[in-house]
Amino acid sequence: MDLILFFIIAVITIILSIKLSHYADMLDKGTKAKGFFIGGVLLAGVTSLPELVTTLSSVSLNNPALAIGDIIGSIIYNFIIIVVLDLIFIRKRFMNKVSDKYVIVHLILIYIFVILIAYFKGELIGGIYNIGLPTIIIIICYLIYLLVVSRTKLSTSKPKTSNNKPAIIIKFTLTSILMVIVSILLTINVNQISIIYSNFSASVIGAFLLGITTSLPETVSAYVLIRMGSYNLGYSNIVGSNMVDFLIIALADFFVPSKIIYDFYDQDTLLLTYLGLAFCIILIYPIIRQRSNFKITYLIPSLVILLIYLMFWFYLLLGN
């Protein structure tokens, strides 16, 4: 019954997330905002709303490990979105057209991954009161990211629109409230599933069920944008969502009473973090390489990531 309820809530989450992205896009048209900001901050923030609610709900349910698994799993799945879309739109070869300015964002993400791994392995300690040092570093990194976004221009097509903005704002707000409610229900449901299937760690349950489900809005929006030819906008939505996800786990650290949220990690969390680091590094290559016109050489990075991802889940399922 819990799994059936999970799929019902997941479908509702996807529908609401698509609506939110649609309203955000309608509000954006006709403005002079930069493309990097639109995809990397506005759209990324909207599509990351489920992660925010589910993470804070996990903490309130006294299951911080579920929150960590949700965020790391969501970040990894976002990288998989890029890989799968690269395979689907092989004829477009959109990775050849993605701006090399995204390398800076990848470097920021890599730095955060390294910090988390160092903390999990006990090589980085400290903080302020009950706020972990990774939280402080992540917040600083996100501010640097915003600075990069504000100074970066990307070419995106923005057709004029005569939409009734007050009405759209009302719809956007109401849909956001519904999203918050549904996301809380989703977290409660997944928390029950983690109890039923106790042979899997909470971080794995969070990474698989919560992480993938809450990343479906990014999947839909990125698919639509790349299909329309807005390659940079679609890519900025994905990497921007990853930055927002890290910020969410940092904010959640403030709500864990008397402890640091990163102390709730397990070996699965550490393995997931290594996986995210590897994917982030590999995806730099398609951005900085010279244009590849041969399908086989073009797809090598995407195929390598997909193979590693499938082997990882096979290992986890086999081990449990």
Q: What CATH code is carried by the domain that includes residue 42?
A: 1.20.1420.30
Which residue range is the domain that position 65 belongs to?
2-319
The encoded tokens of residue 126 equal 């400290």
The encoded tokens of residue 252 equal 């959640």
Q: What is the mean pLDDT of residues 183-205?
A: 68
Is residue 232 scored above 90 in pLDDT?
Answer: no
pLDDT attached to residue 192: 74
pLDDT digits (tens, 9 = 90+) for 68-119: 887 888 899 899 999 999 999 998 888 988 888 889 999 999 999 999 999 9
pLDDT digits (tens, 9 = 90+) for 130-187: 889 999 999 999 999 988 887 766 554 555 555 567 787 788 788 878 877 887 777 6
For 150, counting Cβ atoms within 10 Å of its Cβ (0-12 exposed, 13-18 middle, 19+ buried), the class is exposed
Whether this model's pTM surpasses 0.85:
no
Q: What is the mean pLDDT of residues 30-57?
A: 67
Residue 219 confidence class, pLDDT cut points 50, 70, 90? confident
Which of 184, 217, 153, 183 lies closest to 23, judged by CA? Answer: 217
Q: How many residues does the chain have?
A: 320
Mean pLDDT check: name the lowest of 13-17, 190-194, 221-225.
190-194
Q: Which residue has the tokens 């990848």?
A: 106
Number of domains forming the structure of the chain: 1
pLDDT attached to residue 40: 64
Residue 40 is classified by DSSP as: I
Residue 320 confidence class, pLDDT cut points 50, 70, 90? low
Q: What is the mean pLDDT of the chain?
A: 80
Q: Which residue has the tokens 């010279």?
A: 290
Mean pLDDT check: name the lowest of 18-22, 24-28, 143-147.
24-28
Q: Is the dihedral of CA 1, 4, 248, 69 positive or negative?
A: positive
Element (H, E) at 127: strand 127-128
For the chain, count helices (H), then strands (E): 15, 2
